[in-house]
Structure 1
Amino acid sequence: MASASAAGEASRHQVVTWGASADRLGQAVADRSYRLVVRTSVGGSRPRVRLSNAFGDRPVTFGEVYAGKREEGARLVPGSNRRITFGGARSVTVAPGDSVTSDPLSGRLAAQSDLVVSLYVAEAAGQATGHGMAMQTSYATGGDHAGEEGEGSWSERIGSWFYLDAVSVESAADTGAVVALGDSITDGWQSTTDTNRRWPDYLSRRLQGASMTGIKGVANEGISGNKVLADGAGQSALARLQRDVLSQPGVRTVFLFEGINDIKAHTGVTSAQLIDGYRKIIDRAHAAGKCVVGGTVLPFKGWSEFDAAGEAVRQEVNDFIRSSGELDAVADFDKALRSPYDRERLLPALDGGDHLHPNDKGMRVMADAVDPADLECDR
């Protein structure tokens, strides 16, 4: 018979509480520290961080890694900044194309809280890895300042996350996560910086109090400019599915909301080709035992690349998403945000101003269009 403690451990598992898609992020710099501010979704114990060198062409060595609670700006709550180890060591070298997950920290990480991960990059060169458009202010400085709790050394403000691509926590076995696979709309462009008003943020807040689902974790794996079929602004959704989505711990559902960049780029992509790309993502996610929810593609009339041909593809793709039955559920973002007077346009009150990206209110309407119960399926 298993002991009570063993049974307790078996009833808990790791669940992703924050994520950001890895991409190329300029030139790597040695002897430099980053103080990265991220917002948790689900709370839990024994948090771990994942550091990525996915796009590096040379090894990167992290001399120190710390995690603490943010008080304000770059200043941490006194006594909260704690060293993170890797296999018991305070430093770790990550090979090109690889990633590393830390040892767990003792204690709990609260839901909907600002976690600050401070990295000291001791050795690095060549291509850096990170997430370019964070919509969140973080900080950088020369030298090793990762262990400091004050803000005095952190004079440089940055709008990207370097090397950090996931945070997970230990939670009950019936708690899971959804990963939003998307482009700039999911990444949060046109939402207000430093306020966590991307649509996955609004969804995360809803899920914490939703009794009809055990899905509480939300990882935002949007990349501005991303496409389903072709590399460019990040690797294609097809190419990055395993690293950014399926590899995350505790994931039960993939939220697929991509396609507008394939459509509006005038590359000649047809609805059949885009639907084939969706089917490959759906099949791979299903094979991994994940539910797949699809979001219909938003209208974009008024955007400089809009034309009738692209609009026809969008309508055909949305027909597939709504009616094919190949997805486990659908969130009809198009219906929720389009103008009743011109269904090829965003409702002006929800338009961020460029006729493609929703504003804060539009982001909230998107999250409200997702039925939390739809994030569960029988797979």
Structure 2
Amino acid sequence: MTSRKPALTAAAAVATAASLTVATPAAADTRTTWNGAWTAAAMKPSGAPWFGTWAEQGFTDQSVRQIVRVNAGGAKIRIRLSNAHGTTPLRLTAASVGRTATGAAVRPGTIRPLRFDGSPSTTVPARGRAVSDPVALPTEPRERLTITLYFRGATGPATYHQLSMTTTYRATGDHHRDPAATAYTDRIEPGFGSWYYLEGVETSGGRPRPRAVAAFGDSITDGFGATVDGDDRYPDALARRLLAAGRPHPVLNAGIGSNKLLTDSACGGDAGISRFARDVLDQPRLGAAIVLIGINDIQLRDDRMCGVDREDPPVTAQRLIDGYRALIRLAHARNVEIIGGTLTPYRDSAGWSAAGERIRLQVNHWIRTSGEYDAVADFDRALDPTGTGRIPEPLHMGDHIHPSPAGYQAMADAITLPTLKR
């Protein structure tokens, strides 16, 4: 039988976000100013049909080596781990961080063991998070770091981020202090990579940094179509552009592939209005958020791609606009600037329809003319300057909806830097 799941209201979104907020450990440093340097939005483990992952099986007596590119430098570093979708406590045996060499290798002499409240191990409660103690490791913006987690006991299904566009490596046994890649022979091939339990990296010390910018959205923010291990998603291109302009705002990617604004998805994550506070507004020293979400509400009218026999409530331009207004209210309540991204073209893609295109055009007209966002990033015109409704061949990855690296660069170039005021 087909069931219907109601879209979340703004009030329900706030309640849902609050229910997932868990205090950090007692030893967490509240006196130091921490900058968000990297983030990934947490998702529940699911059997997504198009990506291989280790999320459903979890880990037992295995080391997981994950690579991130930070967007804020500093003298010290700490990490955030998430068990937001766990039903049992997560027991982490040991962890480390170091500067990335090549592949799974870490630059010798840079590995630092991570501790949690003074201990090399920690237990993250179900639906909770943990923050490591600070460790001295000087970093620069756009530097790549390798974080290794070792789990001696069985974790069960893992809270994760499905689409990393970055290779993650796995080894049998405890190899969290190994600089060499020798033991890390396991990775998912072919695949686009995932991040497991790792929710954030923060830095402190060094010269003062401008406030962070969070990029919020679906796979077009998450970076599907970018180069695996190439770090050329649109938030990466924006971070490079800001750094070159002498305005080094850390850019935090809070996108989730297949995500919808109004409705949860079994393999596309929590609805945008329910995760916005957790994944965006709770980031440290946040100044602005760029919102680009809604095309999946328009083109994916059910959750059958995830193996769930469920139809979503019919989507209209007004329902999407009401959802954006909920995000705007939440951002302004936290004194965060919010920038509206116009929905990008998708004609000739598998999900295109004339009715859906009418909704997209109505939504984009509202984003451009209503004045309700603090500023507008016109991603639609960046990818389709002549208004054909199509992304031209050099700017999409081959499916007519996801940009190529050149398309992602065009999106980043469409953001007017003076709009980032805070």
Secondary structure of the structure 2 residue equivalent to 1:27 = coil
**Offset at 1:174?**
5.2
Equivalent residue, structure 1, for 2:200: 166
Is 1:261 aligned to residue 296 of structure 2?
yes
Q: Give unpaired runs (5+ residues) of structure 1.
A: 1-8
Equivalent residue, structure 2, for 1:222: 255
Secondary structure of the structure 1 residue equivalent to 2:159 = strand
Q: Which amino acid letter does the alignment assign opposite residue 94 of structure 1? A: V
Equivalent residue, structure 1, for 2:61: 31
**Offset at 1:125?**
3.7
1:62-141 superposed matches below 5 A: 62-141=92-171
For 2:208 and 2:287, the matched residues in 1 are separated by 12
Q: 1:239 aligns with which of 254, 274, 279?
A: 274
Conserved 8 A contact 2:339-2:377: yes
CA, structure 1 residues 113+173, in 2 after alignment: closer, same or farther (shift >3 Å)?
Answer: closer
Secondary structure of the structure 2 residue equivalent to 1:97 = coil
For 2:79 and 2:60, the matched residues in 1 are separated by 21
Equivalent residue, structure 1, for 2:413: 368
Equivalent residue, structure 2, for 1:332: 378
Q: Which amino acid letter does the alignment assign opposite residue 174 of structure 2? A: D
CA, structure 1 residues 330+63, in 2 after alignment: closer, same or farther (shift >3 Å)?
Answer: same
Q: Which amino acid letter does the alignment assign opposite residue 33 of structure 2? A: H
Is 1:279 aligned to residue 325 of structure 2?
yes
Q: What per-residue deviation string (whole Å, max 9, x for no partner) do you get for residues 153-211 of structure 1?
A: 10012411111011011155552101111100111111111110100000011111324
Q: Which amino acid letter does the alignment assign opposite residue 69 of structure 1? A: R
Q: What per-residue deviation string (whole Å, max 9, x for no partner) do you get for residues 249-307 of structure 1?
A: 11111111101001112352000100000000110011011110111000110011211
Secondary structure of the structure 2 residue equivalent to 1:156 = coil
Conserved 8 A contact 2:72-2:209: no
For 1:239 and 1:35, the matched residues in 2 are separated by 30
Equivalent residue, structure 2, for 1:57: 87
Secondary structure of the structure 2 residue equivalent to 1:33 = strand
Is 1:17 aligned to residue 12 of structure 2?
no
For 1:330 and 1:22, the matched residues in 2 are separated by 27
Q: Which moved more, 1:11-20 or 1:305-314?
A: 11-20
For 1:31 and 1:130, the matched residues in 2 are separated by 18
CA, structure 1 residues 301+221, in 2 after alignment: closer, same or farther (shift >3 Å)?
Answer: same
Conserved 8 A contact 2:65-2:104: yes
**Offset at 1:114?**
0.9
Is 1:292 aligned to residue 327 of structure 2?
no
Q: 2:73 aligns with which of 43, 56, 60?
A: 43
Conserved 8 A contact 1:190-1:358: yes
Secondary structure of the structure 2 residue equivalent to 1:310 = helix
Q: Which amino acid letter does the alignment assign opposite residue 199 of structure 1? A: Y
1:315-326 superposed matches below 5 A: 315-326=361-372
Q: Give unpaired runs (5+ residues) of structure 2.
A: 1-28, 46-55, 302-311
For 1:221 and 1:58, the matched residues in 2 are separated by 25
Conserved 8 A contact 1:60-1:123: no
Q: How many residues align?
A: 366
More strand by share: 1
Q: What per-residue deviation string (whole Å, max 9, x for no partner) do you get for residues 350-370 of structure 1?
A: 121111011010000000001
Secondary structure of the structure 2 residue equivalent to 1:216 = coil
Is 1:350 aligned to residue 395 of structure 2?
yes
Q: 2:222 aligns with which of 143, 167, 187?
A: 187
Q: Which amino acid letter does the alignment assign opposite residue 150 of structure 2? A: Y
Q: TM-score normalized by structure 2?
A: 0.84
Equivalent residue, structure 1, for 2:17: none
CA, structure 1 residues 175+197, in 2 after alignment: closer, same or farther (shift >3 Å)?
Answer: same
For 1:11 and 1:89, the matched residues in 2 are separated by 21
For 1:252 and 1:114, the matched residues in 2 are separated by 24
CA, structure 1 residues 173+78, in 2 after alignment: closer, same or farther (shift >3 Å)?
Answer: closer
**Offset at 1:127?**
2.6
Secondary structure of the structure 2 residue equivalent to 1:166 = strand
For 2:396 and 2:76, the matched residues in 1 are separated by 40
